[in-house]
Homo-oligomer: A and B are copies of this chain.
């Protein structure tokens, strides 16, 4: 599976790159007055040229379980990646995590400036909803509205944006740093990174027209994978080099970031990471070999080096 997995992951990343490139072209859509060149360039910088595209991959492969392929899942995957990249651009800002390096390149506000980074993030988030709501993503409005609502819930105050707020609070910038217990760290991570990863799988199930049993199974898979991914991230921050990761490392502890490594210790965090990855695989027990690629994705999420 590993060679086939790598090939499929790479092929999907290329297809998502092409889709993003086409969506972020210079020509305005109907209903748009004009596309300012500087803003388009910043949105392209924030989204193109890198990344494993794990979220779109999970979406595309979840839809493929139900034999749905092609433009629809790729557009939804590109929208999801825009939402992910908007959050990175905003989280990197000086007022937030103040990061200079992302995917081995200067972060957007370093390459351009803060105002452009804020606006490009805003425009990417908005465009993600545009792409999901457009009929080219799926002919049925009910499917598109389910995709839209899912992204809003995963990305909003009760999901990704809320998780970043909790993360900043845990650092102690609004009073004494809170030493979060394991349960609080898990909830924070389920919001900050888990919700969007789980949505990737959910969106694939929506596009695939999955029945409620299959949706529940995929939802459990997505949540476990999201949690496993974040523990792996915490461990990478401790163990990897900035060179391999393409961004600064060892910063979590220095900032007092809430991590499961901090709450559990390194050895137990690794055990938990592996348990979660296994739980993700086991959630797919009702599927046959057609789900092998998703099982491999669960392993990949915890075995990656960057």
Contact = CB atoms under 8 A, between A and B. Distances in A.
Contacts of A129: 129, 148, 151-152
A136 to B, nearest CB: 11
Contact of A122 (B43, B125, B153, B191): B125
A36 B187 CA distance: 11
Interface string A137-177: 00001101100111111111111011111101100011000
Contacts of A248: none
Chain A interface residue count: which class? Answer: 35 or more
A157 B123 contact: yes
Nearest to A134: B149
A293 interface: no
Contacts of A118: 90, 93, 95-96, 118
Contacts of A195: 33
A133 interface: yes
A293 to B, nearest CB: 26
Nearest to A126: B156
A1 interface: no
Nearest to A86: B122
A40 interface: yes
A18 interface: no
Given A129-B148, A149-B130, A123 B162 contact: yes
A286 to B, nearest CB: 23
A31 interface: yes
A127 B156 contact: yes
Contacts of A133: 145, 148-149, 152
A153 B127 CA distance: 8
B38 A165 contact: yes
Nearest to A24: B157
Given A33-B158, A152-B126, A155-B126, A119 B164 contact: yes
A29 interface: yes
Contact of A154 (B31, B35, B165, B187): B31
A289 to B, nearest CB: 31
A130 B152 contact: yes
23 contacts: A30-B153, A31-B153, A33-B159, A33-B195, A34-B187, A38-B165, A39-B162, A86-B122, A90-B119, A93-B118, A95-B118, A113-B173, A113-B174, A115-B168, A118-B118, A119-B164, A122-B161, A126-B157, A126-B161, A129-B148, A133-B152, A141-B141, A141-B145
The 6 A-B pairs at the shortest CB distance, nearest first, are namely A32-B158, A31-B153, A130-B152, A95-B114, A126-B156, A133-B149
Given A36-B166, A113-B174, 8 more contacts: A28-B158, A36-B165, A123-B161, A129-B129, A130-B152, A133-B148, A133-B149, A141-B142
